[in-house]
């Protein structure tokens, strides 16, 4: 394979209210750190807005120019980023109704029991916060010598303690997974209509890049909840590519990182979503790499997103189930600390490593070799 001269990269972020500025800064900082590991010195340009829902920056390394396009939907995330206890309670009830108190619960327990238990964590945190705040507020208020002041003082203390537990929950990322579960359930039930035009917009951009012969390689990368967004987006994009020869030689690559696709694909109502999965799984020209880590508690590790929802892949098609093998990429002492930081662990796919190994996000997005060739060299 000839070295890549021009690559188009699309990145679809997860359920994260932080926008393009955060991810541009993260890429620039982590690429610089990774250069000491992979000897790939990437020059990252300034970020520029490209239309209403995308930002882009240029990556130059070893004679390869990569156009990095950040597909933005953080505005939709912020609309559904619950903040108060009332909204959190609503999300808890949604989670219980759609994932636990349903015949579908057995499917989730069988496929990924740890992930379902993680969804119960916010509910338990909320119950514990309520009980402790109630006990502490009544106990402390009862110590006041003025009986008439005990009731209002208790209410003030209770409100303050609940607010404090809410701040602690935010810092510990307790409610992050809960928001994802509730959002996914509402999407599966057609209650987030603003997603459809955004997905279609992304599909048009991806299709244009595939149809552009100047691009030696088109790479679509999705992380976390972004892996659910990319399924219908890429399926629609491929429908807009009339000349299927533009997919030859594994020119179009889909990389899904830390996927949580079953959060929507397992829902009985998600028929259109499963049809999109089926379409991708029957496109043998598409190189689909799926990376999940067993130590990532916010994904469905090594669970095939196609077969797990009852679909099947055509011959030589569908995702290649891979692990980044994070334990080989970091020094033991550091990796031990990272394993305890479960929120950070979910974002390791986008970060620099200590040592070279089977996974390199920055080589995929900016390296001179085609991803198909990189894969052969790393496996």
Query: Which residue is listed with tokens 């989730």?
Result: 108
* Listed ranges 124-138, 175-189, 345-359; the one with the highest mean pLDDT: 345-359
Higher-confidence residue of 33 and 174: namely 33
The confidence score (pLDDT) of residue 194 equals 96
Q: Which of 28-42, 102-116, 343-357 has the lowest mean pLDDT?
A: 102-116
Higher-confidence residue of 134 and 58: namely 58
The confidence score (pLDDT) of residue 44 equals 98
- Quick one: the chain helix, strand, coil %, rounded to 5? 55, 15, 30
The whole-angstrom separation of Cα 270 and Cα 199 is 16
Residue 64 has pLDDT above 70, yes or no: yes
- Average pLDDT (105-121) is 81
20 and 80 Cβ atoms separated by less than 8 Å = no
Percent of the chain with pLDDT over 90: 70
DSSP 97: I
The confidence score (pLDDT) of residue 330 equals 98
Residue 332 has pLDDT above 70, yes or no: yes
- Average pLDDT (265-292) is 97
pLDDT tier for residue 117 given thresholds of 50, 70 and 90: confident
Residue 243 has pLDDT above 70, yes or no: yes
Q: Which of 5-9, 36-40, 146-150, 231-235 has the lowest mean pLDDT?
A: 146-150
The confidence score (pLDDT) of residue 193 equals 95
| Sequence-separated (6 or more) residues with CB below 8 Å from residue 145 | none
For residue 168, what are its two tokens? 């602690």
The confidence score (pLDDT) of residue 367 equals 97
* Listed ranges 116-120, 147-151, 362-366; the one with the highest mean pLDDT: 362-366
Higher-confidence residue of 33 and 105: namely 33
The whole-angstrom separation of Cα 372 and Cα 82 is 41
The confidence score (pLDDT) of residue 112 equals 80
pLDDT, tens digit, for every residue of 70-99?
A: 999 999 999 999 788 888 888 888 988 888
- Average pLDDT (245-260) is 97
pLDDT, tens digit, for every residue of 163-219?
A: 888 888 777 777 888 899 999 999 999 999 999 999 999 999 999 999 999 999 999
Q: Quote the longest CA-to-CA distance of the chain.
A: 84
For residue 144, what are its two tokens? 């006041």
For residue 114, what are its two tokens? 């740890």
The confidence score (pLDDT) of residue 139 equals 87
The confidence score (pLDDT) of residue 212 equals 98
pTM metric for this prediction = 0.92
**C-alpha distances out from residue 329 to 68, 249, 256, 289, 360, Å:** 25, 29, 19, 19, 9
Residue 150 has pLDDT above 80, yes or no: no
- How many CB atoms sit inside 10 A of residue 334's CB? 12
Range list of β-strands (E), the chain = 6-12, 43-44, 48-49, 54-61, 64-71, 217-223, 252-257, 287-291, 319-322
| Mean pLDDT estimate for the chain | 93
pLDDT tier for residue 275 given thresholds of 50, 70 and 90: very high
DSSP 348: G
pLDDT tier for residue 156 given thresholds of 50, 70 and 90: confident
Residue 157 has pLDDT above 70, yes or no: yes
pLDDT tier for residue 1 given thresholds of 50, 70 and 90: low
Higher-confidence residue of 98 and 66: namely 66
Q: What is the DSSP string of 233-275?
A: HHHHHHHT---GGGGGGG-EEEEEES--THHHHTSTT-HHHHH
Give the chain's domains with CATH numbers.
6-76+193-378 (3.40.50), 82-186 (no CATH)
């Amino acid at each position: 394979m000839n070295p890549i001269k021009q690559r188009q990269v699309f990145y679809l972020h997860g359920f994260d209210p932080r926008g393009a500025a955060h991810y541009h800064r993260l890429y620039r900082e982590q690429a610089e750190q990774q250069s000491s590991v992979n000897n790939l010195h990437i020059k990252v340009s300034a970020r520029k807005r490209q239309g209403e829902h995308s930002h882009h920056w240029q990556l130059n390394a070893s004679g390869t120019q990569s156009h990095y396009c950040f597909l933005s939907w953080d505005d939709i995330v912020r609309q559904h980023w619950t903040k108060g206890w009332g909204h959190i309670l609503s999300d808890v009830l949604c989670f219980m109704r759609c994932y636990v108190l349903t015949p579908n619960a057995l499917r989730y327990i069988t496929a990924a029991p740890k992930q379902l238990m993680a969804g119960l964590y916010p509910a338990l945190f909320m119950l514990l916060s309520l009980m402790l705040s109630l006990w502490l507020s009544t106990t402390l208020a009862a110590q006041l010598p003025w009986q008439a002041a005990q009731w209002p003082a208790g209410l003030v203390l209770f409100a303050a303690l609940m607010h404090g537990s809410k701040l602690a929950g935010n810092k510990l990322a307790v409610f992050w997974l809960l928001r994802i579960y509730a959002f996914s359930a509402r999407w599966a039930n057609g209650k987030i209509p603003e997603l459809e035009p955004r997905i279609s917009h992304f599909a048009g951009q991806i299709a244009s890049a595939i149809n552009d012969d100047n691009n030696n390689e088109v790479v679509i990368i999705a992380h976390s909840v972004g892996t659910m967004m990319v399924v219908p987006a890429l399926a629609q994009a491929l429908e807009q590519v009339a000349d299927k020869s533009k997919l030859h030689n594994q020119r179009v690559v889909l990389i899904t990182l830390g996927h949580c696709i079953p959060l929507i694909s397992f829902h009985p109502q998600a028929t259109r979503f499963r049809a999109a999965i089926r379409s991708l799984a029957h496109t043998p020209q598409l190189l689909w790499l799926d990376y999940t880590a067993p130590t990532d508690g916010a994904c469905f590790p090594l669970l095939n997103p196609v077969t797990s929802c009852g679909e099947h892949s055509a011959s030589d098609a569908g995702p290649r189930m891979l692990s980044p093998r994070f334990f080989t990429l970091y020094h033991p002492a550091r990796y031990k600390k990272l394993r305890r930081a479960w929120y950070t662990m979910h974002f390791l796919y986008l970060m620099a490593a200590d040592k070279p190994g089977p996974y390199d996000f920055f080589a995929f997005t900016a390296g001179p070799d085609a991803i198909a060739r990189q894969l052969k060299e790393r496996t």
